[in-house]
Structure 1
């Protein structure tokens, strides 16, 4: 159902700023916490004494402490101490590799020996002062692959997001899909159109007119195991569209880290990296609020889609040309799963292309 030998976003740093956090990733129940030096760790969320969730505990003297009877474990999962008890023979709690990078906490639910931090995708925008980022987290009741399908085919924007980013030209403009190794890229370029409400707001925010024709682009990049980064933006028409100079456009990257929880639920870390007015905190908050509403519309649709698929499990879904991005992405996911089952090493995740630059 999902690759395990891969890095997934499990949390944002603020979620474990001062207390442990319980989270399930790829059906593995984990507790995320920080030691005395602030280093992030992930262990199985199960106390070896009586099975209580360690995530209900606290950190004391750099050790994760069970909130039931005070048993303490270290970063390696070994029991360190327990009030009035001898615990030297207790079994170690399973450890999951965990790394904080680019403003996210990443975990590896598979074989720890294969967890090379170099496989975490490099996100240049996350470390550049020329970019601003704002985002959020949704728990969504559907198979994570349905979200991948959704993001690799933006035709739905015309209907699901009619009041913000949708417009008829999305339907009317064909998209192209290509693969580069394990990366899938779906592109759509619209010329000389009226900007939809969200992009009119962005144009005004960047000091550009919102009543002139624009060229609009959507370039969706799927990266295994389940990350989608989407280059989006508009430029005043006739200046080169996607390649137009910064002075006549507004451009961003829609950031989508999709982390499977179970076969029918996932964690959706969403956001937008913005390449204009990066110091405007009020604009970041405004865009985050608007994005939150947009993605809540996706959540409502996808959860009902999942309910229907469970209700009629034998009905075959149809694939059209607009579905090519999702179809190819699923093929990549299937290859990763097949490689794991065959005992092969985890594939090397590709370096993100322009979507992360």
Structure 2
């Protein structure tokens, strides 16, 4: 269950360098490529001639050429030509609304006529030279909502990420959760603690002592359909915590764009944006490497959790106070999906 009339991250620009990319998003198989004048295009991954995947073809002069018999597709989904054949009367295939923004390719898998580019989230860190970003992509076999649950409750860090960002103080400080419109915010503030290994590394990277007490914060923000941005950081204790002056802290934004592939698999675009030492490429690589390891630990847990749930569909899961962020996020998603289904039913009834 996922909203289709929404913007999802489909890929990064480097994934379509010189070749088309086949990707399934919200159950829709599509081919993404650079068409005329380098503009990103997304079409149904289905050649109208013999049904071959267009993603197995190539791009020539902005046209997508089927790798089976050479049929050329236009960016609007109409066939344009084929060697020795007349094909302009072929039925149009579906084209998806797509935008390139903030270093990502965004796609709207629902009704293209309803796609509004202004709904793509504003990512100031992606456009400013005062910030550095490094990230990656994981393909994970789990329901996208399980990943949202994971990110909106960071209590698991103590156990899943014990050697990097976990510490017992996370368990000792209860999170608070609130809903503002369609945004869910869960936050936790820990005072006068020692930083775990990952954050000691970040402190050193910003030229700060790593062997003194710190104040630590985690502010998780969910926005539909499946974006979670998490403000995280540490500051030398007694300097104001989250509001401490820049010279006393190491703070970042954990970037999580979760794109459903199917009901039980996702494309997970992860990364970290920071506004300290943005010119330090070595530090960026070090943080990316550390984050990649952390998220790989989540991967195994989530896939095994999904397998358990599929084997036991009758089991009711327990809900605790720490689950409030995930529960509220799911409620918003349920409302959005139900509204889409009602709109679709109304259109069918009026046809």
In 2, Cα distance between equivalents of 1:13 and 1:210? 37
In 2, Cα distance between equivalents of 1:36 and 1:99? 14
Q: CA deviation at 1:15?
A: 0.2
Encode CA deviations 1:174-215: one digit per residue, 9 max, x unaligned.
110000000000000000000000000000111100000000
Task: Tell me what 1:47 maps to.
Answer: 47
Task: Tell me what 1:221 maps to.
Answer: 221
Q: CA deviation at 1:36?
A: 3.8
Mapped pair 1:172 → 2:172:
yes
Aligned-residue Cα RMSD (Å) equals 0.7
The aligned runs of 1:24-35 (5 Å cut-off) are 24-35=24-35
In 2, Cα distance between equivalents of 1:118 and 1:57? 32
Encode CA deviations 1:287-320: one digit per residue, 9 max, x unaligned.
1111010000000000000000011110000000
In 2, Cα distance between equivalents of 1:162 and 1:88? 60
Q: CA deviation at 1:37?
A: 1.2
The aligned runs of 1:228-267 (5 Å cut-off) are 228-267=228-267
In 2, Cα distance between equivalents of 1:205 and 1:102? 25
In 2, Cα distance between equivalents of 1:309 and 1:25? 22
* SS of the residue 2:38 aligns to: coil
Q: How many residues align?
A: 344
In 1, Cα distance between equivalents of 2:207 and 2:149? 35
In 1, Cα distance between equivalents of 2:128 and 2:169? 33
In 1, Cα distance between equivalents of 2:25 and 2:54? 16
Encode CA deviations 1:204-229: one digit per residue, 9 max, x unaligned.
11110000000000000000000000
The aligned runs of 1:120-269 (5 Å cut-off) are 120-269=120-269
In 2, Cα distance between equivalents of 1:271 and 1:67? 34
Q: CA deviation at 1:61?
A: 1.4
Q: CA deviation at 1:62?
A: 1.0
TM-score (norm 1): 0.96
Q: CA deviation at 1:286?
A: 0.8
Encode CA deviations 1:86-125: one digit per residue, 9 max, x unaligned.
0021011100000000010000000111101001000011
* SS of the residue 2:208 aligns to: coil
* SS of the residue 2:37 aligns to: coil
Task: Tell me what 1:74 maps to.
Answer: 74
Task: Tell me what 1:354 maps to.
Answer: none
In 2, Cα distance between equivalents of 1:54 and 1:282? 39
In 1, Cα distance between equivalents of 2:87 and 2:74? 13
In 2, Cα distance between equivalents of 1:134 and 1:269? 11
Encode CA deviations 1:11-40: one digit per residue, 9 max, x unaligned.
001000110000000000000000141100
In 1, Cα distance between equivalents of 2:91 and 2:277? 53
Task: Tell me what 2:348 maps to.
Answer: none
In 2, Cα distance between equivalents of 1:280 and 1:18? 30
The aligned runs of 1:14-33 (5 Å cut-off) are 14-33=14-33
* SS of the residue 2:343 aligns to: coil
Task: Tell me what 2:58 maps to.
Answer: 58
TM-score (norm 2): 0.97
- Unpaired runs of at least 5, structure 2: 345-351
* SS of the residue 1:337 aligns to: helix
Task: Tell me what 1:348 maps to.
Answer: none
- Unpaired runs of at least 5, structure 1: 345-357
The aligned runs of 1:294-333 (5 Å cut-off) are 294-333=294-333
In 2, Cα distance between equivalents of 1:296 and 1:39? 33
Q: Which runs of 4+ in 1 moved over 2 A?
A: none
Encode CA deviations 1:242-268: one digit per residue, 9 max, x unaligned.
000100000000000000000000000
In 2, Cα distance between equivalents of 1:145 and 1:30? 22
Q: CA deviation at 1:343?
A: 1.1
Task: Tell me what 2:286 maps to.
Answer: 286
